[in-house]
Amino acid sequence: HFAKKVDLPLKGKKVVVTAGPTRERIDPVRYISNFSSGKMGYAMAEAAAAMGATTVLISGPVDLPVPAGVQRIPVESAADMLDAVLTHYEDASIVIKSAAVADYKPKDQHPQKMKKNDGETQIELVRTTDILKTLGERKKNQLLVGFAAETNDALAYGQSKLNKKNLDYIIVNDVTDPAGGFGNDTNVVTLLTHTGQSIAFEAMQKRELAKILLQTIIKEEGLHTN
Ligand code: CTP
Ligand code: CA
Q: What φ, ψ does residue 44 adopt, rounded to 5°?
A: -65, -45
Going by C-beta distance under 8 Å and a sequence separation of 6 or more, which residues neighbour residue 145? 94, 95, 96, 97, 167, 168, 169, 170, 171, 217
List 34, 152, 184, 187, catalytic entry:
34
**Does residue 40 belong to any structural domain of this protein?**
yes
**Does residue 114 belong to any structural domain of this protein?**
no
Sign of the dihedral through C-alpha 194, 144, 185, 130: negative
CA-CA distance, 140 to 82, in Å (whole number)?
18
Q: Return binding residues for CTP.
A: 103, 113, 147, 161, 165
Q: What is the mean pLDDT of residues 222-226?
A: 71
Amino acid at 29: V
Checking ipTM against 0.90, whether it exceeds it is yes
**Does residue 170 belong to any structural domain of this protein?**
yes
Model pLDDT for residues 151-166, shown as the tens digit of each residue: 999 999 999 999 999 9
* Gap from CA of 148 to ligand 2 centroid (Å): 8
**Does residue 217 belong to any structural domain of this protein?**
yes
Confidence band, pLDDT 50/70/90 cuts, at residue 5: low
Sign of the dihedral through C-alpha 73, 127, 143, 174: positive
**Does residue 173 belong to any structural domain of this protein?**
yes
Residue 78 in contact with ligand 1 by CB distance below 6 A: yes
* Gap from CA of 148 to ligand 1 centroid (Å): 7
Number of domains in the chain: 1
CATH number for the domain that contains residue 166? 3.40.50.10300
Residue 148 has pLDDT above 70, yes or no: yes
Give the predicted TM-score (pTM) of the model. Answer: 0.95
CA-CA distance, 153 to 161, in Å (whole number)?
12
Model pLDDT for residues 94-125, shown as the tens digit of each residue: 999 999 999 999 999 999 999 999 999 999 99
Residue in 17, 98, 101 to alter for ligand 1 test, most ligand atoms within 8 A of Cβ: 101
* 34 catalytic per annotation: yes
**Does residue 45 belong to any structural domain of this protein?**
yes
**Does residue 117 belong to any structural domain of this protein?**
no
Among 1-5, 27-31, 195-199, the range scoring the smallest mean pLDDT is: 1-5
Model pLDDT for residues 65-101, shown as the tens digit of each residue: 999 999 999 999 999 999 999 999 999 999 999 999 9
Domain residues for the domain of 63 are 14-107+125-225
